[in-house]
């Protein structure tokens, strides 16, 4: 058993010629394979194809992706640099639509670049971009640990907890969001039994969460998504904790498809349902979850899951990657600043630190 977590990505080298190294999560749990991202398209493809996934990790990868994309600028010409920066950030923004951390990180990089002195040369600008991406990376590490500390206080030793999808170290800089709660509980001596939804159709729970919990020696039981109600009915679960990819101003939360169903089941069985998410995942420009963009993914993920055909040719397929859990079903949102409970527009605004 280990009490460390696997880091999903790292930067290697300097700003001018360095590159991003990330775990190719599509190869887990059978193989632990690292992928070198040395050009912009490789970073874009890694985000789009879920080689790197999880809202915070997507944001970090995108920040480093900007540095990689800017390496093609050879001169000190300001207009050339600014034009390329706009091109790179706009392109990365097209990779996935739902995870707000992607746009948050790109906007942060843009604002940082806008503060550059007109006299800065190209090398200084590149070093500054890499430094900002590294800060985003390190800040997420700290945020994950803070979420874990607040969340672990909500759980008791010996408790059974259900989670959906993967919100662990693979989805963030290190400890994760939802899984950070479990890792931190372990750190302080609490033994939990985690029930892991397999998370169809891409099985992030089975492939990634079960793997991460196993690496930590935390007791975990894998179940099909459709088994959650039965497990709750049998009294095996007394709390549910998941992550989120975008949280609206009223607390409505978008997460991997199937999360909404789990929240409804938790309410029916009088089990508290929690979201674990950093402040950067909140989108206060949206009053509620109605207008959260929901990514539609390819039909082949369902008809030919993992390369094997399991549906008839030409069948119609609907494949939304996310659903939105209404705030009224959420007992609390665990952030790095504390737990928002009850989940209301007013309480979200107080915790996030902006007016709603």
Residue positions annotated with a catalytic role = 245
Q: How many CA atoms lie within 13 A of 205 on its CB side?
A: 26
In terms of phi and psi (left: phi > 0; alpha: psi -120 to 50; beta: otherwise), the region of 134 is alpha
Q: Which residue has the tokens 């939804």?
A: 197
Contact of 275 with 333, CB cutoff 8 Å: yes
**What gap in Å lies between CA 266 and CA 177, rounded to an integer?**
20
Contact of 331 with 261, CB cutoff 8 Å: no
**What gap in Å lies between CA 95 and CA 22, rounded to an integer?**
17
Rounded to a whole number of angstroms, the distance between the first and last alpha carbons of the chain is 45
Residue 160 β-bridge partners:
193
Selection from 207, 137, 136 nearest residue 166 by Cα: 207
**What gap in Å lies between CA 85 and CA 110, rounded to an integer?**
8
Q: Rounded to the nearest 10 degrees, how much is the dihedral formed by the CA atoms of 311, 316, 317, 323?
A: -140
């Amino acid at each position: 058993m280990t009490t460390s977590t696997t880091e999903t990505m790292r930067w290697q080298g300097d700003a001018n010629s360095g590159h991003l190294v990330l775990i190719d999560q599509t190869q887990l749990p059978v193989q632990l394979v690292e992928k070198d991202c040395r050009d912009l398209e490789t970073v874009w493809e890694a985000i789009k194809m879920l080689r790197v996934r999880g809202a915070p990790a997507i944001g970090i990868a995108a920040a480093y992706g900007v540095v990689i994309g800017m390496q093609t600028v050879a001169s000190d010409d300001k207009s050339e640099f600014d034009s390329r920066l706009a091109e790179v950030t706009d392109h990365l923004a097209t990779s996935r639509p739902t995870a707000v951390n992607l746009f948050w990180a790109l906007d942060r990089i843009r604002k940082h670049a806008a503060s550059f002195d007109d006299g800065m040369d190209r090398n200084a600008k590149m070093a500054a971009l890499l430094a900002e991406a590294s800060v985003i990376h390190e800040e997420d590490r700290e945020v994950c640990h803070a979420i874990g500390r607040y969340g672990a206080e909500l759980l008791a030793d010996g408790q059974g907890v259900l989670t959906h999808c993967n919100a662990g170290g693979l989805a963030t800089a290190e400890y994760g969001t939802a899984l950070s709660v479990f890792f931190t509980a372990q750190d302080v001596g609490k033994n939990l039994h985690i029930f892991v939804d397999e998370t169809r159709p891409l099985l992030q729970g089975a492939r990634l969460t079960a793997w991460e919990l196993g690496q930590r020696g935390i007791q975990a039981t894998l179940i099909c998504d459709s088994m959650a109600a039965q497990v709750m009915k049998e009294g095996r679960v007394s709390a549910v904790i998941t992550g989120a990819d975008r949280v609206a101003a009223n607390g409505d939360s978008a997460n991997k498809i199937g999360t909404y169903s789990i929240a409804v089941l938790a309410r029916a069985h009088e089990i508290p349902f929690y979201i674990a998410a950093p402040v950067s995942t909140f989108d206060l420009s949206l009053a509620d979850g109605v207008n959260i963009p929901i990514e539609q993914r390819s039909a082949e993920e369902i008809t030919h899951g993992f390369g094997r055909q399991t549906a008839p040719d030409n069948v119609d397929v609907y494949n939304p990657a996310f659903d939105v859990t209404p705030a009224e079903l959420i007992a609390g949102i665990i952030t790095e600043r504390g737990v928002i409970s009850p989940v209301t527009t007013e309480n979200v605004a107080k915790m996030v630190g902006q007016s709603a």
